[in-house]
Amino acid sequence: MIAIVDYGMGNLRSVQKALQKLGYDAQIASDAETVFRADKVILPGVGAFGAAMENLRRAALDAAIRDFIATGKPFLGICLGLQLLFEVSEESWKEREEPGLGVLRGRVVRFPEGLTDEQGKRLKVPHIGWNALRFVRQDTLFEGVAEGAHVYFVHSYFPTPADESCVVALSDYGLPFCCAVQSQNVRAVQFHPEKSSAVGLRILRNFAEQ
């Protein structure tokens, strides 16, 4: 069973429906025990980093996620679910940076103001739309996905891993940014595979077959 972590923030149903369309048993889980005992876990997310971490802690899902990852079973973070894996984020309503799960070393930062495309056109933040993948190295999550394949993004922040060896793919939005990582059994993407048409379904299938 694939558990999709429900902590009150995320496109749970769209991720579940995409996996069910592919023929996999995907269940939405809001309790720590179900998450820990799953065969695979997906951590989705849309919204603010600090609110997400508060919700995870309140439901003891932060510990459940860390414990699950320690088992070595497959784990996938999506969008905010990728960012939450890192140590800290600039996205905070407090005077200090917001602490994350700390599974991966590094920070989550905001796109700077004044970004422009190759023609000099000013780019808006948040970044919303389709962008190409540029692979840094191979990973089974992207088996059958071509270099330059387009996926769908909605975000204002992106990760800056301290260990660049975990970076699998980059994309470009006024600057190159990390959009996919892998470290042992942990994989995570900044884009939304459930909204990325056939390419996204292939990525979800690859994860489900891990």
Scored b (16 or more CB within 10 A) or e, 172-195 reads: ebbeebbbbbbbebbbbbbbbbbb
Residue 182: what pLDDT?
Answer: 98
Tell me what pLDDT residue 5 has: 97
Q: What is the pLDDT of residues 13-41, one digit of tens each?
A: 999 999 999 999 999 999 999 999 999 99
The pLDDT score that the predictor gives to residue 95 is: 65
**Containing structural domain, residue 75:** 2-208
**pTM tops 0.75:** yes
When computed from its CA atoms, the radius of gyration of the chain, rounded to whole angstroms, is: 16
Rounded CA-CA distance 71/170 in Å is 28
Tell me: pLDDT of 93 over 90. no
> Which CATH number covers residue 54?
3.40.50.880
What pLDDT, in 10s, does the model give residues 120-160?
A: 899 999 999 999 999 999 999 999 999 999 999 999 999 99
**pLDDT tens digits, residue range 160-199?**
999 999 999 999 999 999 999 999 999 999 999 999 999 9
Q: Which residues are catalytic?
A: 79, 192, 194
Q: What is the structure's pLDDT at 11?
A: 78
- Predicted pLDDT at 9: 85
- The domain total for the chain is 1
pLDDT confidence band for 94 (50 / 70 / 90) = low
Q: Is residue 91 over pLDDT 90?
A: no
Region at 158 (left for phi over 0; alpha for psi -120 to 50; beta for the rest) = beta
